[in-house]
A and B are shown apart, each in its own frame.
Chain A
Amino acid sequence: AQTVTQSQPEMSVQEAETVTLSCTYDTSESNYYLFWYKQPPSRQMILVIRQEAYKQQNATENRFSVNFQKAAKSFSLKISDSQLGDTAMYFCAFGNRLSQGAQKLVFGQGTRLTINP
C-alpha cells in the first residue's frame, strides 16, 4: 500500500519569504501522480500543483513549484514570495491510476503553514 509522509506538522515564515514543505512517499508503482492540496479555514480543498511521475521536469504554477526526486521518492513544495493568503493546511497526496483514468488519492498528515505579516 502507498504511504505519504509529511514530517513538518507546522511551519511559520514572514510574508515575502520563500518556504519549502517536504513530502516523501512510498510506492512500488512506476506510473502515478503527486499532488499538493491547500486547505484554508473554509475547509475547501484546493489543488495547488500536480506532477506526473513519468515527467522529469518539475511542475510550476506561478509562485508554487515542486522538487520531484523520483528515485528518492521525495516531492517538496516551494512557495516563493509568500503571501498572507497562503496561510493554510497543505496536504501532499499520491494518486495511482484506476480504471478510466480516475484517481484514488492517499494523503499525508498535512503541514500547517502560517504566513506572518
Chain B
Amino acid sequence: GAGVSQSPSNKVTEKGKDVELRCDPISGHTALYWYRQSLGQGLEFLIYFQGNSAPDKSGLPSDRFSAERTGGSVSTLTIQRTQQEDSAVYLCASTPPGELFFGEGSRLTVL
C-alpha cells in the first residue's frame, strides 16, 4: 500500500496480558516513530528509529514497553503485562525529511 499500515486496528485485552502492535512504514522511509494518544489528549512520543542508529527510547513510559524494527522496515511495539492506563491509540509514523506520515493507529483497550 501507499500509506503507513498498522495492525490490529483495534485490540481488546485483559489486564496482565502481553500485546504486540505492528507498523508497516512507507517503503523507503528511513525514520519511524511510535506515538501514544490517550483519550482526548495530544500525542505522546514513545520511541524513534532512524536507519541503523540506536533508537531513541526516551519516551517509553516503563520497562514494560519495548519496540523493535526489523530490517529497517516493519516495527513492532510490545507492551508486557498490560495495565488499564495503557489503554490508548498507538500511532505509528514514518518520514523522509520534513514531514511525518501517520498510520490510522491501533486502539488498545485493557479491561
Cβ contacts A1-44/B at 8 Å (1 or 0 each): 00010100000000000000000000000000100010000111
Question: Which of A93, A99, A102, A103 has the most chain B CB atoms inside 10 A of its CB?
Answer: A102
Complex CA gap A50/B33 in Å reads: 19
Is residue B31 contacting chain A, with contact meaning CB distance below 8 A? yes
In the complex, the answer to whether B48 meets A101 with C-beta atoms within 8 Å is no
Q: How far is the CB of B90 from chain A (nearest CB, A)?
A: 11
In the complex, the answer to whether B50 meets A110 with C-beta atoms within 8 Å is no
Partner among A4, A99, A103 whose Cβ is within 8 Å of the Cβ of B100: A103
Complex CA gap A11/B31 in Å reads: 34
17 new A-B contacts, CB < 8 A, other than A101-B97, A104-B48, A104-B56, are A4-B42, A33-B98, A43-B104, A45-B43, A45-B102, A98-B48, A98-B50, A99-B53, A100-B97, A102-B30, A102-B97, A103-B31, A103-B95, A104-B33, A105-B33, A105-B100, A110-B42
Where the two chains meet, the residues of B that have a C-beta atom closer than 8 Å to any C-beta of A are: 30-31, 33, 35, 40-45, 48, 50-51, 53, 56, 89, 91, 93, 95, 97-100, 102-105, 107
